[in-house]
Chains A and B, each alone.
Chain A
Amino acid sequence: MSRKIERLINLTIALLATKRYLTKGEIFRSVDGYDGSAETMERMFERDKDDLRNLGVIIEVGSFDPVFQDEAGYRIKPEGYSLNLGEISGVEIALLSLAAEAWRGAALDDAAHSALTKLHSMGVESDLDSLPAISPRLNPTHSDFQVIALAISKREVISFSYLSAVMVAQMRTIEPYAIATRNSHWYLAGRDLEKREMRTFRLDRIDGEISISHGGQGFEIPEGFDVFGSLESDETVNIATLDVRKGKAHLLRIIADSCVDKGEWEQITVRYFDYQQFVDQILWHGADVLVIEPTSLRNQVIAGLEEIVRLHA
């Protein structure tokens, strides 16, 4: 195993150091670790190239003379190989460190840690003292989180089994656009290939493994796509008018757009996006909230109350 690793490192060094393309012949003659028959070396080299590419190393293929198309040559351009974040300060390194630390114990812990190692190898001292003392943490989520992250960056289609509201597991196949987290839940948004529509999924409702369908056609992610923005857009917004008891229902008050004093009660207007969720939220507040408008919402709340009475009478 060591010999293989040595050879990969030596190959990387040689291809990085060269100012011109190196031919296979030159590589076999000069880079330590290539021996055996021509065929063996050829096979070794093909595998090594794949391995380095899998590590994210970009190997350029070119020739000395484009007109005569002689033997292909290889090199690794230093500007593609190394981390280049432009001018970077100690405060910025500290901010990035906090960002990486947020993953401690969560899905991308390893990736965040290796990113941190690279950032700390830039020779810029992290200026953590200039930041306020905060230590935000990301919540753990589905064990296949990395698969999603990778699929988004490589534009690959993923499939998984998803628990519907009636607890039936359904296979979903989507083009993943983005992941986001809020209120300690993780969300995945993308285009559902079967339903031909944008859909958002809560990761804790994914049942079992997530698989990448390789060789799928690449897709475009809309510029500036925003998970919560797509859930809560002007097209999905509804407005309700509610009477709320004074000093109560502060969960609804925080999201209220307006508030009018009516003595014992106050009348607020609230924007909502998910119908059933909003009905549930109103009923949570019991006798402290009364729906005034719209009628459909009011009827839905009344229907819920009637069902509660029927079940418990």
Chain B
Amino acid sequence: MHNSIQTPLSRTARLLDLVPYVASHQGIEIEALAQNFNVTQAQMISDLTTLWMCGLPGYTHLELMDLSFDSGFVTIYNAQTLSNPRSLNSEETIALLLGLDLVIQSLPAEREDLRERARALVEKLSSRISIKAKLTAIPSAAGSVRALIENALTKDSWVEITYHSSYSDTVSTRLIHPLELRTEGGYEYLWALCHSARNLRVFRIDRIQKLVPSAPPEAPLYAVEKEAEKTAYAIRVHSRPRAAMERFSLNRDSLSHENEILSFSSEWVQRSIMASSGSVEVLEPSGLRNEIAMSAQAILDRYKAH
């Protein structure tokens, strides 16, 4: 996608940034240059033509920048005054500061050397725009895991994961078919068909150490696939509507009515209803209603016994 909005100011900014970029990438193709600045080739040629007319007062060939791009390759000489990149503005600096914090927390533990260098960069940048607050970015999942999961969900494809289970404290490799992403208690969970376990499994995505796209298993899990259809649940929100909306991904406009939710897992629905502390009620199916009432009563009895 190209930048469609062009103001004289945004073009001026681009031209000012173009000069040092070409000066440090002598002989770059117009096409590559257009791509980097996110404009069409025609726009880039128009930009270069404008620049070609600029220079120091006097404007003879001695003062004009020596810019050439006829061959499709761009070179620039005699651009001393503009050849240093412009300083970063505050928005750019904030973007880098948040990005750096994310990088620091995503680097593997054994690379303390790199963390140290990244921290020094944070120091350098924040002193430049006098941002006194700490800009924190804690990653939700290792590296690119989350993006790859979303990709697999869209394409309905299989992936192979390396997973650390805190329960057994082991690391295993599994072939899974992602079904849905759910957030609980500030953590994101992936519901998936696990070929290795031949069943539905739940994975906390920050514990997925590695994820690679994979071909589906040779012997498909027809039996499980059939089981793993979404079930509809009817719920009603009685209080704390914002929390309910966020937990169950409800539509804001229908909060006061009966809501239908779809899920692969009745366990998730049951836990979510419990965690709503009595602000959300299950209407259907009645089996789950009873189960929730009974298990809540059982816990109450234990409290009374203590």
Contacts and interface: CB of A to CB of B under 8 A. Distances in A.
A308 interface: yes
Interface in A23-44: 30-32
Contact of B85 (A1, A82, A152, A281): A82
B231 interface: no
A227 to B, nearest CB: 6
A122 to B, nearest CB: 6
Interface residues of A, number: 122
A262 interface: no
B289 interface: yes
Contact of B140 (A57, A84, A139): A139
B95 A111 contact: yes
A98 B121 CA distance: 13
Contacts of B87: 56, 80-84
A13 B55 CA distance: 7
A108 B55 CA distance: 33
A86 interface: yes
A290 B90 CA distance: 49
Contacts of A152: 94, 131, 133
Nearest to B276: A280
A96 B100 contact: yes
Interface stretch (B20-28, B172-180, B212-220, B258-266): B20-28
Interface string A229-262: 1000000000000000001001101100000000
A189 B245 CA distance: 23
Majority SS of interface residues in chain A?
A: helix
B41 interface: no
A247 B167 contact: yes
A254 B166 contact: yes
Nearest to A176: B133
A129 B56 CA distance: 41
Nearest to A105: B147
Interface residues of B, number: 115
A311 B238 contact: yes
A224 B103 contact: no
A164 B83 CA distance: 51
Nearest to A80: B87
B11 A5 contact: yes
Contact of A154 (B90, B92, B137, B295): B90
A181 B187 contact: no
A285 B102 CA distance: 31
A113 interface: yes
A270 interface: no
A205 B188 CA distance: 19
A8 B51 CA distance: 11
B184 interface: yes
Question: Counting chain B CB atoms within 10 Å of each CB, which of A78, A81, A306 scores highest?
Answer: A81
A83 B88 contact: yes
B230 interface: no
Interface in B250-300: 252, 255, 270-279, 281-282, 289-290, 292-293, 295-300
A158 interface: no
Interface stretch (B66-74, B110-118, B153-161, B190-198): B110-118
Nearest to A311: B281
Interface string B84-125: 111111111111101110110111100100100110010011
Interface of A: 1-2, 4-6, 8-10, 12-14, 16-17, 30-32, 51, 54-57, 78, 80-86, 91-92, 95-96, 98-103, 108, 111-115, 117-123, 131-139, 146, 149-150, 152-154, 163-167, 177-185, 189, 205, 221-229, 247, 250-251, 253-254, 276, 279-281, 283-287, 290, 292, 298, 301-313
7 contacts: A12-B16, A56-B89, A81-B84, A121-B20, A223-B132, A250-B167, A305-B296
Given A9-B50, A135-B144, 6 more contacts: A1-B11, A122-B24, A184-B183, A251-B187, A283-B275, A306-B300
